[in-house]
Chain A
Amino acid sequence: MPGKVHVTAIINGEKREFLCEPLQTLLEVLRDELKLTGTKEGCSNGNCGACSVVLDGLLVDSCLVLGVEAEGRSLVTIEGLMGSDGLHPLQKAFLENAALQCGICTPGFIMAAKALLDKKPRATEAEIRQWCAGNLCRCTGYDKIVRAILAAEKSM
């Protein structure tokens, strides 16, 4: 029976150590071991993007990464977005534009939007829609999400 593996990673700017079994996904490690439950589980097969996090600067589905793969890597989750001066502009824009209903897809969308705006601070509506193809929302019809990301761009 495989044993637990000791993993050290930078999570939201802090060095964290954890033990995990090789079969645990990064999503399971975040939620079950580190109690970082802001990252949500949707489909667990890479279709919905609810579990999106930024790993070494790249947007990934944490359900498709093994926890052990995080060794030596740097990770940002939704919990890492808030600064000392309060909510991140994207978080504020999602609230102000009512860009969520049930909220399960929201952390994933915000992480995806953050990865986009880090690369392209003035992304167009078409670019936002294309970029967010890997994030599903079953409530909003997407329009308010796109408006919120455009509003966040203006405030940043």
Chain B
Amino acid sequence: MQAFDYVAPGNLAEALGLLKEKGDRARVLSGGTDLIVQVREDKRRVALMIDVKRIPELMELRFEAGRGLTLGASVPCYQLYESAELVKAYPGLIDAAELIGGKQIQNRASFGGNVCNSSPAADSIPALIAHSAVCRIAGAGGTREVPVEDFCVGPGKNVLKADEMLVSFFIPSPPVRFGAHYLRFIPRNEMDIAVVGCGVSLELSADHRKCVRARIALGAVAPTPLLVESAAAALQNQEVSEETIGRAALAAQAAARPITDMRGTAEYRRHLVGVLTKRALRKAIERAKEA
């Protein structure tokens, strides 16, 4: 394992100063469940490890009903599913938090780290996109906001500049009659990487018969997680039925650009997109009716 220096700054300004000084030779350390493995396997060169878990903004978890959730980039997954109000308000995020790794991983790994690792198969990303999450980024030049669907630009690549870091997500409070779901296909029960992942959210009309709006996101079927607007459009202002769910699934299949690799063939993945999109929508509809 390569040698590096370690610092654990107590405030954001100090961390940003170090990033500006060291540039891409520095890496931000949250839960370390990806980064420490990558450094050990020499897949990433690091001269300075900046542990950001002592910075209040990175560990913030604040929900204001009617407004939204501020989720610090380093907040570990378990804090989401241990909060009763978040379980109720953000079901899609909870689904993802509960299926990333085992308990040991969920106690360390953060959504911020998962998003910055920018794997096409990241479980948190389709869920965050479904919930309309926005990345709050800070850098030497100030702060900016980027919707999660625009954050990744390729496998392992994202919009962060060398002097920038992800500070938190802002996730708006869901409207009434809202439901969301994230699910993935893996060939076992736990502890695996998604062959395909699908996150959806939707809002029903007062009589529960129509879908007012929807968001459908896919993982592991393109170089980055995808927001599939054509699939959402198949549902928007339509009657909720197996027929419209089927049309949305077909649109999602058409938008997927999967590759063949050790986890599955392109053809198999495209099939899974249809199956998972339908299952995710049915579950989200069920949740919206209960909400």
User: Which A residues lie at the B interface, using CB under 8 A?
Assistant: 1-2, 5, 21-23, 25, 44-47, 49, 52, 58-61, 63-66, 68-69, 71, 112, 115, 130-135
Residues on B facing A (Cβ under 8 Å): 1-6, 8, 29, 31-33, 36-37, 39-41, 49, 51, 53, 76, 78, 101-105, 107-108, 189-191
Q: Give Cα A64 to B41, complex, Å.
A: 13
Choose one: A22, A47, A58; the contact of B107 (CB below 8 Å). A58
Q: Which chain B residue lies CB-closest to A65?
A: B32
Contact of A69 with B51 at beta-carbon distance under 8 Å, contacts A46-B101, A46-B105, A131-B103 already known: yes
From the candidates A46, A58, A71, name the one contacting B8 in the complex (CB within 8 A): A71
B77 → A minimal CB distance (Å):
11
State in angstroms the CA–CA spacing of A65 and B104 once bound together: 11
Q: Which residues of B contact A63 (CB under 8 A)?
A: 36
Q: When A130-B190, A133-B190 are in contact, do A46 and B6 touch as well, CB less than 8 Å?
A: no
A21 to B49, CA, bound (A): 12
Q: A22, B49: Cβ atoms under 8 Å?
A: yes
In angstroms, Cα B1 to Cα A45, docked, is 13
Q: Which residues of B contact A131 (CB under 8 A)?
A: 103
**A71–B51 Cα gap in the complex (Å)?**
12
Which residues of the other chain, A, contact B53 by a CB distance below 8 angstroms?
Answer: 69
20 additional A-B pairs beyond A22-B6, A23-B4, beta carbons within 8 Å, are A2-B4, A2-B6, A21-B3, A22-B3, A23-B2, A25-B36, A45-B40, A46-B33, A46-B101, A58-B107, A59-B103, A60-B107, A64-B32, A64-B36, A65-B36, A66-B29, A69-B8, A69-B32, A69-B53, A134-B105
Return chain B residues, CB-CB under 8 Å to A5: 6
- Residues of chain B within 8 A of A60, CB atoms compared: 104, 107-108
23 CB contacts below 8 A, A to B, read A2-B3, A22-B4, A22-B5, A23-B1, A23-B4, A46-B37, A49-B102, A52-B104, A59-B103, A59-B104, A59-B107, A61-B33, A64-B32, A64-B33, A64-B37, A65-B32, A69-B8, A115-B103, A130-B190, A131-B103, A133-B190, A134-B102, A134-B104
Instruction: Give chain B residues whose Cβ lies under 8 Å from the Cβ of A2.
Output: 3-6
Cα-based distance from A130 to B106 in the complex (angstroms): 13
Closest CB in chain B relative to A29 CB, distance in Å: 13
Secondary structure at the B interface, as helix, strand, loop or mixed, is loop
**B-side contacts of A1, CB under 8 Å:** 3
Q: How far is the CB of A102 from chain B (nearest CB, A)?
A: 21
Distance in Å from the Cβ of B49 to the closest Cβ of chain A? 6
A66 pairs with B36, CB closer than 8 A:
yes
A133 x B8 contact (CB < 8 A): no
**Closest Cβ of chain B: how far from A88's Cβ, in Å?**
19
- Cα of A71 to Cα of B5 in the assembled complex, Å: 15
**Please, how many angstroms separate the alpha-carbon atoms of A21 and B1 in the complex?**
11
Question: Considering the chains assembled together, what is the distance between the CA atoms of A49 and B103 in angstroms?
Answer: 10
Tell me the smallest distance from the CB of A9 to a CB of chain B, in Å: 14
Instruction: Count chain B CB atoms within 10 A of each CB in A52, A66, A68 and give the residue with the most.
Output: A66
CA distance A151 to B102 in the complex (A): 23
A7 to B256, CA, bound (A): 49
- Distance in Å: Cβ of B18 to nearest Cβ of chain A: 14
How far is B32's CA from A9's CA once the two chains are assembled, in angstroms? 19
Contact A134 B103 (CB under 8 A): yes
Contacts of A133 in B (CB 8 A): 102-103, 189-191
> Which residues from chain B contact A61 at a C-beta distance below 8 Å?
33, 104-105, 108
- Determine how close the nearest CB of chain A comes to the CB of B177; give it in whole angstroms: 31
* Residues on A with beta carbons closer than 8 Å to the beta carbon of B103: 59, 112, 115, 131, 133-134
Contact call B32/A66, Cβ cutoff below 8 A? yes
Nearest CB in chain A to that of B76: its residue: A58
Complex Cα spacing A22 to B32, Å:
13
In the complex, which residues of chain B have a beta carbon less than 8 angstroms from the beta carbon of A21?
Answer: 3
Nearest A residue to B2 via CB reads: A23
- B50 shortest CB reach to chain A, Å: 11
Q: B6 and A66: CB pair below 8 A?
A: yes
